[in-house]
Amino acid sequence: MGKLTPYIISENARSQAEFYIQTLGGEILSLMTHEQSMGAQHESKDKVMHLSMVVSGENSIFMADVFDEPFTNGSSVSLSIAYSTESEASEAFVKLAAGGKVKYPIEMQPFGLFFGELTDKYGVRWMITTEPKANE
């Protein structure tokens, strides 16, 4: 079984997260920039690669700064599912990708997760992950 978490892509994830925390209550649990996670040394090194927060009790939301595509406020929400095993993650990825478009094939990433991203045939963006320690 997987755990579903909304993933919001933002022009300024730090600012947007602070707004949600001030208006809904909660806290930022972690924040990682492109420089911190992958050693990036370009103009986007300070952009948020991944931000994890809780709001209104224990509701998790992930966020990131837009990085490589045109952006329209409010249209960049992705659904992120974390699976227990690599085989579960791969199976879900393949099924969701049918008739859709793969942005990043599911594979081990430099930031330490087995990760893939796609847009399904209905236009919904999905990020599928699993922790390396959970792999079969």
The amino acid at 26: G
Cα→Cα distances 133→57, 62, 63, 67, 104, Å: 28, 21, 24, 28, 21
pLDDT tens digits along 47-83: 898 999 998 888 899 999 987 667 666 667 788 888 8
Low-confidence ranges of the chain (pLDDT < 50): 134-136
8 token code pair: 């919001």
Q: pTM of this prediction? A: 0.68
Domain residues of the chain, as ranges? 3-134
What pLDDT shows up at residue 111? 80
The set of long-range contacts for 16-23, using a CB threshold of 8 Å and a minimum separation of 24, is: 16/63, 17/51, 17/53, 17/61, 17/63, 20/53, 20/55, 20/61, 21/53, 21/55
Class of CATH domain 3-134: alpha beta
Note the pLDDT of residue 40: 66
d(C-alpha 7, C-alpha 126), whole Å: 9
Cα torsion angle, 38, 10, 13, 20, sign: negative
